[in-house]
């Protein structure tokens, strides 16, 4: 559903404010599963990590969708303000778009942190090999969209 095995593909697009429509569908499905979950009493740390990572994904997606439009099968920043000829509010919209993009990145970092905590809890309580080979989930900006044109890999703290 969240295609963790394709994390590098997802995150490289996400840092550039591109999200495939499948992740929008996943948001609704995961919210329903979270509301209907029956939690094991003996593993509260696992429960907490699941809830926190799903909440972080939900916050990221909800904010992303607040200023996104669908183009082909990807959602991207809403640029309708650029299509209005002589838009008197052009610079206001452009500033709002930049703020929206910065908040997206911060929420993506938080989601990545919570995802790493979730993977660690799964390794501790359920499957010691869960994403052990590929390691931590990182944020890679291959095109340098956020980091001055430089290919950058970070592990958000």
* pLDDT of 114 over the 80 cut: yes
In a domain, 137, yes or no: yes
Is pLDDT of 1 > 80?
Answer: no
- pTM of the predicted model, to two decimals? 0.91
Query: How many domains are contained in the chain?
Result: 1
pLDDT grade for 87, boundaries at 50, 70 and 90: confident
The residue among 1, 113, 7 whose CA lies nearest residue 56 is 113
Q: 16, 103, 34: which is closest to 62 by C-alpha? A: 103
Tell me if 83 is assigned to some domain. Answer: yes
Is residue 88 in some structural domain? yes
Q: Strand 68-71 to strand 139-141: parallel, antiparallel, or no bridges (unpaired)?
A: unpaired
- Write the burial class of residue 133 (CB in 10 Å: 0-12 exposed, 13-18 middle, 19+ buried): exposed
Q: How far apart (Å, rounded) are the C-alpha atoms in residues 69 and 115?
A: 26
Q: Can you give the residue range of the structural domain that contains 45?
A: 17-154
Residue 95 belongs to a domain:
yes
**pLDDT band per the 50, 70, 90 thresholds, residue 120:** very high
Give the mean pLDDT of 62-68: 95
CA-to-CA dists, residue 89 to 84, 102, 103, angstroms: 10, 20, 21
Nearest-angstrom CA–CA distance, 52 and 80: 34
Average confidence (pLDDT) over 97-124: 96
């Amino acid at each position: 559903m969240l295609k963790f095995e394709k994390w590098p593909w997802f995150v490289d697009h996400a840092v550039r404010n591109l999200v495939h429509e499948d992740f929008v569908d996943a948001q609704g499905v995961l919210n329903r599963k979270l509301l209907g979950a029956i939690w094991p009493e003996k593993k509260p740390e696992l429960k907490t990590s699941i809830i926190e990572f799903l909440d972080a994904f939900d916050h990221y997606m909800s904010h992303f969708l607040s200023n996104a439009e669908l183009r082909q099968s990807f959602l991207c920043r809403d640029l309708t303000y650029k299509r209005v000829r002589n838009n008197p509010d052009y610079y206001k919209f452009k500033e709002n778009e930049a703020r929206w993009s910065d908040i997206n990145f911060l929420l993506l970092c938080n989601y990545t942190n919570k995802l790493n905590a979730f993977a660690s809890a799964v390794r501790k309580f359920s499957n010691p090999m869960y994403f052990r080979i590929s390691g931590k989930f990182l944020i890679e900006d291959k095109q340098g969209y956020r980091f001055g044109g430089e290919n950058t890999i970070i592990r958000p703290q």
